[in-house]
Amino acid sequence: MHFYICLTLKVMMNKIEHIGIAVKDLDLSCNLYEQLLGVPAYKKETVASEGVNTAFFLTGTNKIELLSATSEDSVIASFVRKKGEGIHHIAFDVDDICTEMERLKANGFVLLSEEPKIGADNKLVCFVHPKGTNGVLVEICQEIKNKTNG
Ligand code: ZN
């Protein structure tokens, strides 16, 4: 006989929204991932404020984001210089990014921005410093709701 204490905990991180992969040449890597996954990128987008070009692939419900630098001082450029191409971040989908940022801060995590930023693929995003997450850069992202469609 076991006793279970039921707590109504709100789910904070819904799922892995995507995995971000840093690449040197977005066009070359788009061709490569198209061959690997058997589907073309469904979206390409530049986020000028972050210095990145992005391309998104969908396999089933799983999403891969390729990121390349738009300039030498882009965070992706310095990542590739230090670590080479490879997995750059893991992004989790959240319902309410501001609440989640507060929760993470309260738990001692260091956020890389004070406010959510506009990211690629219609998302509000915030990154968690990898020093506090076993070396993994974690992104939390919230879909920007289209007001006219509710
Ligand atoms: Zn991302």
pLDDT band at 149 (very low <50, low <70, confident <90, very high): very low
Q: Does residue 137 surpass a pLDDT of 60?
A: yes
In angstroms, what is the span from residue 130 Cα to ligand 1's centroid?
A: 14
More confident residue, 12 or 143: 143
In angstroms, what is the span from residue 18 Cα to ligand 1's centroid?
A: 6
In angstroms, what is the span from residue 126 Cα to ligand 1's centroid?
A: 9
Write out the chain in H/E/C secondary structure. Answer: CCCCCCCCCCCCEEEEEEEEEECCCHHHHHHHHHHHHCCCCCEEEEEHHHCEEEEEEEECCEEEEEEEECCCCCHHHHHHHHHCCEEEEEEEEECCHHHHHHHHHHCCCCECCCCCEECCCCEEEEEECHHHCCCCCEEEEEECCCHHHC
Q: Does residue 119 surpass a pLDDT of 80?
A: yes
pTM of structure:
0.88
